[in-house]
Structure 1
Amino acid sequence: MTGTLDLDEFITLLREEIGLPVTAEDAGRELTEIAGWDSVHLIAFLSALERATGRQVSLVAALQASTVEQLHAATAGQA
């Protein structure tokens, strides 16, 4: 997989790589409301996202995101 992931692919990758029970229904939830989410998960996920897409991800943009949707937009270069 290379390029940009749509939101469903992004959530699937998040669930599979981090092992947290995230679904499309969680897209608008605050990251802090997702059971088990922490900064270590963010770094691990960004690394997996870079491997999956072949693109570098801005840590600064990712840190500004507060929801799954915002994280997706930020890492897709849309934020």
Structure 2
Amino acid sequence: MTTLDEFLDFVSQELGLNVTTDDADRHVDELPGWDSMFLLTLVTALEQQAGRRILLADALQASTLRDVHELAVDA
């Protein structure tokens, strides 16, 4: 997964949230249905899918899904 759209599809599947490109730059706390545990779930799923580690400390600094996407593609 390299594009933002692919990432958002992945987020929708893994977390059961309906997110679109309009949501990519929203603060995660503004996303309908967002739960604080979703970030941990998402990072774990991304690590498994990509086969590489994403530092949780970096993920905790991410405030938008676009930020998380950048971590995932740069990891």
Give the TM-score, by structure 1 length: 0.84
Report the count of equivalent residues: 75
1:7 aligned partner:
4
Q: For structure 1, list consecutive stretches of 5 or more residues without a partner in the other structure.
A: none
Is the 1:30–1:66 Cα contact (8 Å) retained in structure 2?
A: yes
- Larger % of helix: which? 2
Q: Percent identity?
A: 41
Cα distance per residue 1:29-79 (max 9 Å; x no partner): 11000011122111111111111111111111111011111111123337x
Mapped to 2, the partners of 1:30 and 1:64 lie a distance apart of: 12
Contact 1:7 1:69 in 2 (8 A): yes
Which residue of the other structure, out of 16, 30, 33, is the alignment partner of 1:36? 33
Q: 2:14 — aligned with what?
A: 17
In structure 2, list runs of 5 or more residues that go unmatched.
Answer: none
CA RMSD of aligned residues (A): 1.5
